[in-house]
Amino acid sequence: MTPTHPVAMPPTITPLGTSALLFEAPGREMALGTQQRMWALAREAGGWPEVREAVPGMNNLMLSLVRPPRVLRDIEARLRAAWAAAEPLPLEGRVVELPVVYGGAGGPHLADVVAHTGLSVDEIVERHSTPLYPVYALGSHPGYCYLGGMDPRIATPRRKVPVLSIPAGAVSIGGAQTGVSASAGPSGWNTIGSTVMRFFDPAQDPPALLQPGDALRFRVEKVIR
Amino acid sequence: MIEILSASALATVQDLGRVGALQWGVGTSGAMDPLALAAGNVLLGNDDGAAAIEVPVFPFQVRFSEDLAFALTGADCAARLDDTPLMPWWVAQARAGQVLTLGLPQGTGWRASRAYLCVAGGVDVPAVLGSRSTQLRGDFGGHEGRALRQGDVLRAAAPGNGRHASGFGLLPPALALPLVLDGVPAMRVLPAAEYAHYTEASRAAFWAGEWKITAQSDRYGYRLAGTALEAADVVEMRSHGIVPGVIQVPPGGQPIVQMRDAQPSGGYPKLGTVIEADLWRLGQAPIGSRVRFIETDWDAAVAALEQTHAWLADARRLADLYRRQRERTRA
């Protein structure tokens, strides 16, 4: 469970204009137990008539609204009550294994992670490829997964100057998080390796390969030093 | 059918946006000026959300390969059908072979930056995940998931629509629903979660200052330049859902307003959100121009949205009435 006392500490609810509400669990950490309660809240609130979509973030939830209610009090009270009652929803989906080539041309910032952490390439690769990473949420771009579970010893700050485009399949570290780009685009994260996987296909139903509760594992295919 | 004759990049097929796909990481896309897109459709008797061509770079030219009713809304581009000048926010009837040319946006006081070319029945591209809007990141939706190019050919979904009812128009919402502060186009902003983390001086400067829309502004986001905003304490954010209109403040203190192609999640502190009812005003603000922000609250933001909906409903009522009268006259 969460290290905080979620019922005692109130969550915050703030508007994002009139088209969405943001519900945030107290605290700043990213705990799996809290996330499991957020999944439960998303399932509940996603069924309310004024809610178009209930979208989990990292220990938070955005409700996009069909139309803005006249007053916020009612939906805010329902959210608080549903959160207080929410039990962790232990989603356990499938595990997808991704072969990763660490370093080399596909991992241009591995050296920056070495420099920041003081660990060797092998130590970083081992720590990165050991955990099973639960998918907490989807966001950022089509098919992209926010993952929990990275070893904090390889945490590396986001880059001061974002890279204009990193390719699909880029495996990267940003702060205490790691992830895999689903398509080419700008990124402030440190790219340490590359993999090949189609995370998103608009012709499929559902279009995203993974959903919250699924998990990723990185298998070391090769290390280029 | 219409053929794109100009080489100017960045024109895209858009509708009112893709909703309901956030769970897969897919943002909304859609017209930067949804009111202009909907109004163009109203003029043609289309559904509000039929797809149109959004044109941000001029001149822009297309050739009609069939008789086709079309409407032009958004920026006033001194449009010509062959050599005949067209009114802005107007429906016209093209004959096969005619060429439509959109020139540079003009206008004193309020000059818009994007034009919408709506056609009878809407632009006929496949709906992907419930929308015809172009999703550039991921390359789907719109026309082949990309911006339009010279030589592209687009079909109108119902070329027969609106055939007998051209030659009328609407008063643009910039005139009907003006919002200007000290002579500068303004948008109302609802404070967001991290508003209170900014210093009192920064909050005051945000409301009092003029914000320049820098050249690094596009469908993804508008990077603004003005007095740097300072947070009283550093907030470490967890990634969370965001919507178009959210004003993020990166560490440098110069705000970025998320626009239609913005990613659907973010982690920068949020000062506020340009309200849904006013986002079209910002979507039309040209690069290099200046805008002001007006603090609002939930009640006023909801009322503003209702006012926008009422304007559109009124436009539809008048357009339908005019079309019926024209049809009767012909019968």
Angle at B155 between CA B279 and CA B132, to 5 degrees: 35
d(CA B192, CA B194): 6
Q: What's the domain range around A69?
A: 12-85
Query: Domain locations in chain B?
Result: 2-174, 180-296
Mean pLDDT of A86-94: 93
> Do both A197 and A112 map to the same domain?
yes
B180-296 belongs to CATH 3.40.50.150:
no
- From edge to edge, which strands make up the β-sheet containing A12-16? A12-16, A20-24, A60-65, A51-56
- What's residue A179's pLDDT? 96
- For residue B268, pLDDT beyond 90: no
Task: With beta carbons less than 8 A apart as the criterion, state whether A192 and A171 touch.
Answer: yes
pLDDT digits (tens, 9 = 90+) for A187-222: 889 999 999 999 999 999 999 999 999 999 999 999
Q: Specify the range with the lowest mean pLDDT, choosing from A55-64, A183-192, B311-320, B322-331.
A: B322-331
| Residue from A54, A129, A135 nearest A94 by CA | A135
> Which ipTM did the prediction report?
0.94
A7 found inside a domain: no
| A12 CB within 8 Å of a chain B CB | yes
> Do both A183 and A161 map to the same domain?
yes
pLDDT category of residue B7 using cuts at 50, 70 and 90: confident
- What's residue B163's pLDDT? 65
A193 found inside a domain: yes
Those residues whose C-beta lies under 8 Å from the C-beta of residue A84, and which sit 6 or more positions away, are A7
- For residue A150, pLDDT beyond 70: yes
pLDDT digits (tens, 9 = 90+) for B54-80: 999 999 999 999 999 999 999 999 999
- What's residue B331's pLDDT? 63
- What's residue A3's pLDDT? 46
- What's residue A155's pLDDT? 95
Mean pLDDT of B7-13: 88
pLDDT digits (tens, 9 = 90+) for B192-226: 999 999 999 999 999 999 999 999 999 999 999 99
> Do both A65 and A130 map to the same domain?
no
pLDDT digits (tens, 9 = 90+) for B112-154: 999 999 999 999 999 999 999 999 999 999 999 999 999 999 9
Count other C-beta atoms under 10 Å from residue B295's C-beta.
Answer: 14
- What's residue B108's pLDDT? 67
**Option in A139, A143, A200 nearest B265 (CB):** A139
- What's residue A4's pLDDT? 46
pLDDT category of residue B166 using cuts at 50, 70 and 90: confident
- For residue B241, pLDDT beyond 80: yes
> Do both A110 and A197 map to the same domain?
yes
- What's residue A5's pLDDT? 46
Q: In this structure, which amino acid lies at residue A180?
A: V
> Do both A79 and A185 map to the same domain?
no
- For residue A69, the chain B residue with the least C-alpha distance is B302
CATH classification of the domain holding A16: 3.30.1360.40
- What's residue A164's pLDDT? 84
A119 found inside a domain: yes
> Do both A129 and A45 map to the same domain?
no
> Do both A146 and A165 map to the same domain?
yes
Characterize the bridge pairing of strands B2-4 and B153-154.
Answer: antiparallel
pLDDT category of residue B109 using cuts at 50, 70 and 90: low
Residues of B with CB under 8 A from a CB of A: 19-27, 128-129, 135, 137-141, 190, 192-193, 236, 238-243, 245-246, 263-265, 270, 273-277, 298, 301-302, 305
Domain end, chosen from A85, A104, A135, is at A85
Task: With beta carbons less than 8 A apart as the criterion, state whether B241 and A55 touch.
Answer: yes
Count of domains forming chain A = 2
d(CA B220, CA B152): 24
A178 found inside a domain: yes
- What's residue A162's pLDDT? 79
- For residue B190, pLDDT beyond 70: yes
Q: Is pLDDT larger for residue B100 or for residue A28?
A: B100
| A122 CB within 8 Å of a chain B CB | no
Q: How much of chain A exceeds pLDDT 70, in percent?
A: 96
Domain end, chosen from A85, A111, A142, is at A85
Please indicate whether, in this complex, the C-beta atoms of A70 and B20 are within 8 angstroms of each other.
no
pLDDT digits (tens, 9 = 90+) for B227-239: 999 999 877 788 9
Tell me which DSSP letter residue A176 carries: T
**Option in A14, A58, A208 nearest B239 (CB):** A58
Which chain B residues are Cβ-neighbours of A57 within 8 angstroms?
A: 238-241, 265
> Do both A27 and A61 map to the same domain?
yes
> Do both A76 and A103 map to the same domain?
no
Domain end, chosen from A85, A117, A140, is at A85
Q: In this structure, which amino acid lies at residue B184?
A: V
pLDDT digits (tens, 9 = 90+) for A37-67: 999 999 999 999 999 999 999 999 999 999 9
Mean pLDDT of B169-188: 94
The token duo for B36 is: 């202009």
Average pLDDT, chain B: 94
Task: With beta carbons less than 8 A apart as the criterion, state whether B211 and B290 touch.
Answer: yes
A52 found inside a domain: yes
CATH classification of the domain holding A168: 2.40.100.10
- For residue A2, pLDDT beyond 50: no
This prediction has a pTM of: 0.94
> Do both A141 and A184 map to the same domain?
yes
> Do both A80 and A113 map to the same domain?
no
> Do both A62 and A129 map to the same domain?
no
pLDDT category of residue B323 using cuts at 50, 70 and 90: confident
A144 found inside a domain: yes
Q: In this structure, which amino acid lies at residue A55?
A: V
